[in-house]
Amino acid sequence: MRKIKFAIDVSWLRPGKIGGIETYVRNLLDGFLQLQDDRFDVVLIVSRDNHDTFKKYISDFKILTCQRDAINNYKMLLWTNSSLDVSSQFLPYCA
């Protein structure tokens, strides 16, 4: 059976500022932790300024830290729409 691989972009998430959507995203991630097995691989795309809030997922998910800050909504929106791509163009923006 082939593994399902997918990424979740949380680089826009500003901890403590988004409200209900942040709760939803974190509950979704916690649910994936409960299901974590060999059937799928999860990649979290985080930003420099929210990376630390996702540390609990490091052992179960691959974390890609993009060299952008979520706090600046306009720059993040521009970056997401111009640079965030699953092609080879995406990888240079993350460490």
Q: Is the pTM of this model over 0.85?
A: no
Amino acid at position 74, single letter: Y
* Cβ–Cβ under 8 Å, residues 41 and 5: yes
* Cβ–Cβ under 8 Å, residues 44 and 8: yes
Q: For every one of its 95 residues, what pLDDT tens digit does the chain have, with 9 covering 90 and above?
A: 777 888 888 888 888 777 788 899 999 999 988 886 777 788 898 988 899 999 999 988 889 888 777 776 666 667 666 665 554 444 544 54
